Chain A
Amino acid sequence: MVKFAPMAAWSPVGEALALGLASGPACIASCGPVLVPSMLAEHSGVRLNARYLAMFLSTRLLGYLLFALIAWQAGSVALPPASRSTVFGTVHLLLAVVLVFYARSVGRTGCEAGCTQPKLVTIGAGGHGVPAAAALGLFSGISLCPPFVAAGVRAAELASASAALLFFATFFVGTSIWFIPLLGFGCLRRNPAIITVARMCMVLIALYYGYAGVMILLGRNIRAS
């Protein structure tokens, strides 16, 4: 006779999936300033943009899991204020730096419009470049967005590290479904105007993240409250 795991064991998984699905719009809103202009700056093609999105989401998952481990170790997502300022201020500054480098690197892939196998934009020197999508995904994953806090609080209550990781992974799957429509960017035909707008947009958003990073590190409010 087959024995099924008790329902109680599966309930956190269902809960994480439901939480992820419900939090999807907030995740899109939170990652939008990084994701949308950077995807627009890439070449056309659904396959290339799917690669970009997959890389962004997988490194974002890596960021999530890293944070889940820390949360479970600490027993809470609420880090001490000093550590919190340092971590999140630094992450904001890193996002700003990556966005600026990304804006600079666009168009230097050596693959102009019409090439058969366009590559993802990389940042860094020569052959040692890192795909910008990976860096942006990782830093977006570590930065603390509201749905992430909700998932983090719940994960911290679970009995084991593996349960916390499973909770976060399922939560990630739930939120990722909301990112699928962004593949539509691959169908947009890129022209110099769209690329220029995307690059300018990345610089503007980098300015905001840079400001936010400095203010967080200084322990000041970044928004009126």
Chain B
Amino acid sequence: MHPEAKLRPQEPRKLSSALLLTLPIFLWAALIFSRSFAPPNDRVVKIAAVITAAFMVVLFFQMMRTRSTYRWRRIFFVTLGVLFPVGFIHEVMVLRGSMGIPMEEMIAGRTPFCFMPIPMLILPAALTRAVVFPGSILPHGGMSGGGMASMVGIWLAMTLVLGKGWCSYACFFGGIEEGCASLPNRPALRKLDPRWRYGPWAVLLSMVLLSLALFEPAYCMWLCPFKAVSEYVAANDALGMVQNGIFIVLFAALVVALPLLTKKRTQCAYFCPFGAFQSIFNKTSIFDVKIDKSRCVPCNLCQNACPTLSLSKDSISDGGTLLSCMKCGACVDACPRQAAVWHIKGTPLSIKPERARLMFLYCAWAMATMFGGSTIAQGLQPILHFFL
């Protein structure tokens, strides 16, 4: 460690201030989860809603009180990552009795839509005016949930504001690997070739082109590691074997093994095409993370802390992060000299960075409570059913 980079923990905020700052999120959580108390929801749904609302509010309070972001966000994110498959698989099993989606369901347009294929739908839609996904545009009931239109609408609204913050506060896939990455004390693999950072862009380009050529969401059909813990094509032939084999190998390697070895979110950093697509929206977001060069001593603590390799020596010397920054706050929390700061574009760095952090966190946590919180509550329900 650089001799000047001694740890200087920030003073915790006063209890009354922290409570006051948490009040808007408390009211937001109450509004979001009050729906669960409407009939005909049963006791378990109500208890799950109360637990989730309290969970989200307490985590936000801790962010306010301690002034640190990453560790509290990580608790939420890992919980989301673990409980999403629980709720999803439970619902799939109740509806179909299997995690495999039969071809008839696909033909009927009842495939549940997630945000992952969004970038792969654009070119085929532009050239042929067809949506190459076997789901319904409008709410369809069953596993198709709210339909593609609502999912794309929610994603677009959040993305324009938060940019790639989506990947740290809303994505229900990244939590498992973040959990795995947090387990070891030290990384076993330290030297990572920086060229692999371009992997997500290569996967994005190839999947967009193959989706156009094959007229199907190629990533969902061939490369999505999370099919291993959500839903796969119920095919009992060689094709199905190949597809499901790829899903399992990718999940085991990118979501479990490599995060354990590197302490990084390797699927997000090296593979996820949606993450690459999402990076583009860091240009539209007003929030970013900056490095205050007047305070920075090049100790590399921020670079080592970044779970997605979004900081390099060059970017630090340029005073910012790479385009792939997910705004998780790890670098800001890791910097002992408060040189890594939250920032609102167009404002000077000298303006109190804590204000920028608060503005970002209100947006991000409101989204996390609405989108991730609902998913957490859904995942809690089968567990509570088991005990109650």
Contact = CB atoms under 8 A, between A and B. Distances in A.
Contacts of B7: none
A198 B195 CA distance: 12
A86 interface: no
B239 A29 contact: no
Interface residues of B, number: 29
Contacts of A33: 206, 209-210, 212-213
Nearest to A192: B195
A196 B198 contact: yes
A29 B205 contact: no
Contacts of B203: 200, 204
B198 A200 contact: yes
A222 B205 CA distance: 21
A221 B127 contact: no
Q: Which of A25, A199, A208 has the most CB of B within 10 A?
A: A208
Nearest to B240: A224
A166 to B, nearest CB: 28
The SS class assigned to the B binding surface is: helix
Contacts of A211: 242
B235 A224 contact: yes
A5 interface: no
Contacts of B104: none
The SS class assigned to the A binding surface is: helix
Contacts, number: 74
A204 B201 CA distance: 12
A223 B239 CA distance: 7
A32 B218 CA distance: 14
A30 interface: yes
A163 interface: no
Contacts of A200: 198-199, 201-203
Interface string A191-225: 00100111111001100100100010000111110
B205 A32 contact: no
Interface in B231-258: 233, 235, 237-240, 242
A193 B205 CA distance: 13
Given A25-B127, A197-B205, A221 B213 contact: no
A28 B128 CA distance: 12
B127 A28 contact: yes
Given A196-B195, A224-B103, A205 B206 contact: yes
Contacts of A220: 237-239
Given A25-B128, A197-B201, A223-B216, A37 B242 contact: no
Contacts of A223: 214, 216, 221, 239
Interface of A: 25, 28-30, 32-33, 36-37, 193, 196-201, 204-205, 208, 211, 215, 220-224
